[in-house]
Structure 1
Amino acid sequence: MKVGIVGGTGNISTSVVKLLQERGHDVTCITRGSSGALPYGVRHLSGDRNDLDWFVPTVQRERFDAAIDFIGFTPAHGAASLDAFRDVGHFVQTSTVTTVGQTADWLPITEDHPLRPPVPYAVDKVALDRMYQAAYLDRGFPATIVKPSTTYGRKRVVRQVGIDTRWIRRIREGRPILRVGEGTALHHLLHVDDAALGFVGVLERDSTIGQTYFLVNPQPMEWSDIHGVAMDVLGREVEQIDVSAETLYQLDPQRFMMVPGVFAKNLLYSAEKLQRDVPEFRPVVSLHDGLADAFEYLQSHGLVDDVPVGDWEDRVIEIQRDARRRILEG
């Protein structure tokens, strides 16, 4: 197939582009050209999707057989894509499990669960998803909605208090790291190469059109264990210091926006529907191997941030330790 990718150099999309090539598809990426190089053999259309005078006619001229939008975030993006890809045979919209919200009516959460988006990002994703669903029902626009949970790889590693690389440096230097509560919240971490199996499997099947799928690792883990695997990879064990999600949010609501309602919660999602419809979606990258590859790449490319003196994490740890001492001393 001739496949158009809006994006293509991001966390998940890099692996998707690679797998599409391996399966013999003709891939074109539509990007601004500022986020990274594309693999040899991938065509590049350089431009801004927000420039509708460029985006819509450029995409229409390509006559793609199928497309995936990795950087559709707002209803305005949806309106443009519905116009630009109006003749496409299959269109996959990248959404997020965060659209479900902070509380679960049942576990594991399935795709028919009510949506209660907790942050503006998720609110916009819900509105965008509904545009595509309405277009499918009203005029047969061939849309599929894919909702990944947390993914990781060479471009992004995750710990319970958020997305950064300083924790790699902290562990290497033997400095403690934070966890929320006792780190017992279960979370789905999916390697980007495994995520690609889901995206490409959905795109290659007409039977998935009109459907919504959670794209998650069927085997969730506790955050304290996830951190433990990272320590094993790095060859050094450090103390995990407990802190409440509310404390972090009050410290910096923007930085820790996702902590109280996502990273601190047991929000377990079902992979059953995707595995039923895309049988080859069987994650094979172990957390140990995935983190080892990501850490090595980040380190060798100078992408692991330094930890400054008086780092925010050191300050929080000092406060937590002082409070614990005071309690124990009575």
Structure 2
Amino acid sequence: MNILVLGGTSFLGRAYVAEALRRGHRVTTFNRGRTGADQDGVEAVRGDRNSAADLERLVDGRRWDAVVDTSAQQPAAVALAARLLRPHADRYSFVSSIHAFTDWPARPVGEDSPTHPCPADTPPDQPSANALKAGCERALLEHFGAEQSLILNCGLLIGPYENIGRLPWWLERMAQGGRVVAPGNPDRTMQLIDARDFAAFGLDLLERGAGGRYVTTAPPGSTTMREWLTACVDATGGRAELVWVGDEALLAAEVMPWVELPLWSPDQPEWQAVWLADTARARAAGLNCRPIAESVRDTWAWIRQRGPRTEPYLQGTVPLGIAPEKERSLLEQAAS
């Protein structure tokens, strides 16, 4: 196949490119060249996906079997790309998010769940919001139609080259050793998918000419908070000791869910189904997810190769991770 990847140099886009090249596909990447290096073997085209002139230069004299879009956050960006790429590509695969569903994370979601009412023609440069992914989906469907569109509603991605930093933050904290606050119920189940498995599944679907929507994440119950954090301890040498602190104590200390202790969600109604997305359709279509310990080990190996990070990981504009003094206070309370 001849594949165009919009982006292609960081995390999920990088995983798509690596897997496509491994399978022998021809790959073109289109990006500004700012977030990472293109991999050997691709045709790299520089440009801004929000620029009609740059996109017109990209498509001039080129045609692809499929487009893979891992980077769009704004409906206007998808609408522009889809409109200009439609005469030059047979199919368009868009990586959406589980955030696009209205009911998530309070109630379980699946392919038929309602999405946020965000229109396809939403003006550009909107503030970050979950609803925007739903608008992106509608913009794609307007230009490529249902049969030529493949929408993958992504769950929580982990793995090497993660650029948000949820798993890297935990690994770097465990590597420091000592007593570490482990949040909430240790047996709370989670759904974490390695970016490499996500990319392999997405390419499987494109190779089969599949369209439609797939909720793409690990199956419910595939791991627990205890298994995940224990894997982090083991991968980093076993110098950390997990100290479990319950939801009530964390909320009383005003610990921000999801951010200060990445991926912790309290057992409250608004978070009740955060890890209960229905993945039956994707699994029936061949989605396979590697063991969580493998993803953790490989991510730690990448971090060690990359070297120390000098800037904080960010959830949007908010730094990830709990302040050391706040963690010490929680540990003292747990010991008393």
TM-score calculated relative to the size of structure 1:
0.81
Aligned residues: 309
Alignment correspondent of 1:313: 323
User: Are 2:294 and 1:289 aligned?
Assistant: yes
Alignment correspondent of 1:214: 215
Alignment correspondent of 1:230: 232
Alignment correspondent of 1:269: 277
Change (3 A) 1:93 1:125: same
Alignment correspondent of 1:144: 150
Residue deviations 1:7-29 (CA, integer Å, cap 9, x gap): 11121121211221122211000
User: Are 2:196 and 1:193 aligned?
Assistant: yes
In structure 2, what is the Cα distance between the partners aligned to 1:249 and 1:66? 49
Stretch of structure 1 that moved more, 216-225 or 6-15: 216-225
In structure 2, what is the Cα distance between the partners aligned to 1:61 and 1:248? 61
CA displacement at 1:299 relative to structure 2? 1.3
Q: Give ranges in structure 2 of 5+ residues lacking alignment.
A: 118-126, 313-320
* Superposition pairs of residues 60-99 of structure 1, within 5 angstroms: 61-87=61-87, 88-99=89-100
Do the aligned residues in 2 keep the contact of 1:185 with 1:265 (CA within 8 Å)? no
**3-state SS of 1:204 partner:** helix
Stretch of structure 1 that moved more, 295-304 or 1-10: 295-304
CA displacement at 1:249 relative to structure 2? 10
* Superposition pairs of residues 38-187 of structure 1, within 5 angstroms: 38-59=38-59, 61-87=61-87, 88-100=89-101, 101-104=104-107, 106=108, 109-115=109-115, 120-137=128-145, 142-156=148-162, 163=166, 165-187=168-190
**3-state SS of 1:146 partner:** strand
Change (3 A) 1:59 1:303: farther
RMSD, aligned α-carbons: 3.2
CA displacement at 1:115 relative to structure 2? 3.2
Stretch of structure 1 that moved more, 190-199 or 241-250: 241-250
Change (3 A) 1:157 1:11: closer
% of aligned pairs identical?
Answer: 18
Alignment correspondent of 1:298: 303
Residue deviations 1:99-155 (CA, integer Å, cap 9, x gap): 232211x5xx321123359x9432100111122234455xx6721101121111211
TM-score calculated relative to the size of structure 2:
0.80
CA displacement at 1:196 relative to structure 2? 1.6
Do the aligned residues in 2 keep the contact of 1:176 with 1:240 (CA within 8 Å)? yes
